Amino acid sequence: MSAEPVPDTMPAAAPATTSTSAIVETRDLTRRYGNSIALNNLNLTIPQGAIFGFIGPNGAGKTTTMRILTTLLLPSSGQAWVAGHSVVREPQTVRRMVGFMPDFFGVYDNLKAWEYLDFFAAAYGVPASRRPSLIGELLDLVDLSHKRDAYVMDLSRGMKQRLSLARTMAHNPELLILDEPASGLDPRARVELRELLRELQVLGKTIMISSHILTELAEMCTHIGIIEQGTLLAAGDVQTMMRSLQTHRVYEVHVLSDLHAAAELVRDMPGVLAVRKLPDESPPRLQIDHEGNEQQVGALLTRLISGGAIVTHFAGQVSDLEEVFLRITTGTVASE
């Protein structure tokens, strides 16, 4: 723990208004390095049981946030709690509740896999009588039982990542904080990591994960937060975020009747920005750019059918996470 003074603004415990369903909550969390602001009044909530993807450019403030939540760094001002416990006033309690896997983690090359886990389990205070069975359970969980007696130096990068993840769970924490865990992994190792994180969620763990591999996060996360220059730009559950951050939606309509006539039926309706005909596709289809509400979208389908169009498919296209990220960030960075 840093020797910096504890900020006077941090109360001993979370106020009564703190959400009981949130395992992480921050209020106006700020971290300064001299004249640089790495974290600027961060207000973040992570629900219990979520897989929370924390995304942003290099230097956006992701690692700074994680280091504060794991009690490795003091905030300059503001407040943060893990399961209602102050990260500043109750660091020992928070450390028992959190498993942290940094972007660069230490492994000991002259140790075997089981010895590596035994060392950290002992450091976490796990009794010697419990450690052998715990090590077996952890190796099973990360699918490394067959590497129990292998030296850490002989493991692939993906295996080292999984071993490090097993290490973070030696004390059975409620919250796992993983900083860029997929960095440098090959495609197969990324898939294995994604499946492991889903399994951990089923076991009741809450997971906060940062990554630049946006498509990977879209597939595994239930919630996301987008941060840039130390400022949280948006946060929420994935599906709501996808919908709310789109300036308009594109609806695809498959039509078996006259395509030109169908397009003319809806071209001047409220909310319609553009209508594109794709006659060379099979089946022929329209793409409708629309910025209206759900009632107006329903009116589109009603107009098509009442106008005689034979519609076999009508659905809105949802932006992927990478598109949303690029839309709301500018690509600038701050000091992290």
Q: For position 201, which CATH number holds?
A: 3.40.50.300
> Same domain, yes or no, for 134 and 201?
yes
User: Of 119-128, 132-141, 214-223, which gets the smallest average pLDDT?
Assistant: 214-223
pLDDT at 67 over 90: yes
Q: What share of the chain is helix, strand, coil (3-state, %, to 5)?
A: 35, 30, 40
Q: Which of 201, 211, 209, 127 minimizes the C-alpha distance to 170?
A: 127
> Same domain, yes or no, for 149 and 189?
yes
Calculate mean pLDDT across residues 79-108: 90
Model pTM? 0.74
> Same domain, yes or no, for 83 and 45?
yes
| Domain end among 208, 243, 278 | 243
Residue 99, domain member (yes or no): yes
Calculate mean pLDDT across residues 246-274: 90
> Same domain, yes or no, for 170 and 298?
no
DSSP 8-state code for residue 13: B
Residue 292, domain member (yes or no): yes
Q: How confident is the model at residue 281 (pLDDT cuts 50, 70, 90)?
A: confident
At 182 the pLDDT is 80
Q: Residue 67 is encoded by which pair of tokens?
A: 């280091």
> Same domain, yes or no, for 159 and 290?
no
| Domain end among 223, 243, 263 | 243
Residue 322, domain member (yes or no): no
Higher pLDDT, 15 or 284: 284
Q: How confident is the model at residue 273 (pLDDT cuts 50, 70, 90)?
A: very high
Domain coverage including residue 305? 248-317
| Domain end among 218, 243, 268 | 243
Q: How confident is the model at residue 322 (pLDDT cuts 50, 70, 90)?
A: low
Determine contact, residues 57/332, Cβ cutoff 8 Å: yes
Determine contact, residues 85/11, Cβ cutoff 8 Å: no
pLDDT at 12 over 80: no
Calculate mean pLDDT across residues 270-290: 89
Residue 53, domain member (yes or no): yes
- What's the alpha-carbon Rg for the chain, to the nearest Å? 25
At 3 the pLDDT is 42
At 259 the pLDDT is 93
DSSP three-state, residue 313 = strand
> Same domain, yes or no, for 151 and 287?
no
Higher pLDDT, 187 or 16: 187
Residue 1, domain member (yes or no): no
> Same domain, yes or no, for 237 and 257?
no
| Mean pLDDT rounded to a whole number for the chain | 85
At 107 the pLDDT is 65
Residue 7, domain member (yes or no): no
Q: How confident is the model at residue 215 (pLDDT cuts 50, 70, 90)?
A: low
At 336 the pLDDT is 47
> Same domain, yes or no, for 216 and 257?
no
> Same domain, yes or no, for 140 and 273?
no
Q: Residue 297 is encoded by which pair of tokens?
A: 């979208």
Above pLDDT 70, what percent of the chain?
A: 84
- Give the model confidence (pLDDT) of 35-53 as tens digits: 999 999 999 999 999 999 9
Q: Name the domain count of the chain.
A: 2
For residue 284, give the CATH number of its domain. 3.30.70.100
> Same domain, yes or no, for 84 and 190?
yes
219: buried, middle or exposed (CB in 10 Å: 19+, 13-18, 0-12)? middle
Q: Residue 228 is encoded by which pair of tokens?
A: 């840039």
Q: Which of 182, 211, 180, 214 minimizes the C-alpha distance to 195?
A: 182
Residue 336, domain member (yes or no): no
The phi and psi torsions of 273 (rounded to 5 degrees) equal -95, -35
> Same domain, yes or no, for 268 and 150?
no
> Same domain, yes or no, for 118 and 193?
yes
Q: How confident is the model at residue 103 (pLDDT cuts 50, 70, 90)?
A: confident
At 327 the pLDDT is 65
DSSP 8-state code for residue 150: S
Residue 333, domain member (yes or no): no
